[in-house]
């Protein structure tokens, strides 16, 4: 047990956070450089580096080579959002998950989708509509478009038992992605599927994923009213 000469990087991090909190290091101010801190805290520079890097990743410090490390003036807090597969999300709440396919077709996407997927005007896409249910009640409506050229196996996939959401995670190697959250009013169809009043405010997440520069799929997830996306900072 490293009585006291050894400080773990977490201990250093805690000390750094304390100094920021207690305004020992003021916002915008330059903090001692790594070597200096290492000497002062009785640990190696590597350890100090690890700690400072972690704090900087949370947005409380800003680091630039040569310029040194300074306390962030406008701390842009970095929250981490977990984006699980919907089935897992529901099961984690201890609810029974089920899923039902509403429709599946190969058709021309609307302009908005075409723009997101950067596809040529007359390129047909796989369009899958499905409903995720938690404990038998509508949870989220999945409105997905898949580029069958980029994901040929999708043509064979059976989306009646497994949602595109989960099928894609399992079968398509991940790539980059883009997520947006917003709110929309429920249209008549959506209201019926989600069993809510038309015009109700729905939480929406829209995701577009690609691999390399190839767009793969875009999805709109409409959550039933009272859904909350939750995280800690």
Partner DNA sequence: CTTGCAAATATGTGTGCACTTAATAACGAA
Partner DNA sequence: TTCGTTATTAAGTGCACACATATTTGCAAG
Which stretches of the chain bind its own copies, using CB under 8 A? 20-23, 27, 59-60, 74-85, 88, 169-170, 173-185, 199-204, 211, 225-233
Which residue ranges make up the site for DNA (CB under 7 A)? 1-2, 5-11, 31, 33-35, 42-47, 49-50, 52-53, 56, 63-69
Q: Is 28 or 68 the residue whose CB approaches DNA more closely?
A: 68
**Which one of DNA, its own copies, none is in contact with 75 (Cβ closer than 5 to 8 A by kind)?**
its own copies
User: CB under 8 Å to 37, separation ≥6 — which residues?
Assistant: 12, 31, 48, 52
Give least dist CB 75 to DNA, A.
Answer: 17
**Which one of its own copies, DNA, none is in contact with 228 (Cβ closer than 5 to 8 A by kind)?**
its own copies
Cα dihedral 40/75/69/82 (nearest 10): 90
Cα dihedral 100/103/109/111 (nearest 10): -70
**Which one of DNA, its own copies, none is in contact with 69 (Cβ closer than 5 to 8 A by kind)?**
DNA
Q: Is 96 or 229 the residue whose CB approaches its own copies more closely?
A: 229
Give least dist CB 122 to its own copies, A.
Answer: 29
Residues pairing with 100 in the sheet: 131
Q: Do 194 and 138 contact (CB within 8 A), yes or no?
A: yes
- Burial code (b: 16+ CB inside 10 Å, e: under 16) for 96-127 equals ebebebeebeeeebeeebbebbebeeeeebbb
């Amino acid at each position: 047990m490293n009585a006291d000469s050894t400080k773990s990087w977490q201990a250093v991090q805690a000390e750094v956070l304390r100094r920021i909190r207690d305004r020992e290091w003021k916002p915008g101010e330059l903090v001692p450089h790594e070597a200096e801190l290492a000497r002062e805290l009785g640990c190696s520079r590597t350890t100090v580096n690890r700690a400072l890097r972690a704090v900087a990743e949370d947005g409380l410090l800003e680091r630039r080579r040569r310029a040194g490390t300074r306390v962030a003036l406008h701390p842009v807090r970095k929250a981490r959002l977990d984006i699980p597969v919907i089935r897992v999300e529901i099961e984690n709440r201890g609810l029974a998950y089920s899923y039902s396919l509403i429709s599946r077709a190969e058709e021309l996407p609307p302009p908005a989708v075409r723009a997101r997927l950067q596809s040529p005007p007359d390129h047909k896409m796989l369009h899958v509509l499905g409903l995720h249910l938690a404990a038998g009640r509508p949870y989220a409506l999945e409105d997905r478009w898949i580029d069958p050229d980029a994901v040929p196996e999708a043509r064979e996939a059976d989306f009646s038992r497994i949602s595109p959401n989960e099928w894609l995670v399992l079968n398509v190697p991940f790539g980059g992605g883009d997520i947006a959250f917003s709110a929309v009013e429920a249209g008549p169809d959506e209201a019926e599927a989600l069993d809510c009043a038309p015009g109700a405010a729905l939480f929406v997440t829209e995701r577009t994923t690609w691999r390399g520069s190839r767009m793969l799929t875009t999805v709109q997830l409409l959550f039933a009213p009272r859904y909350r996306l939750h995280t800690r900072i």
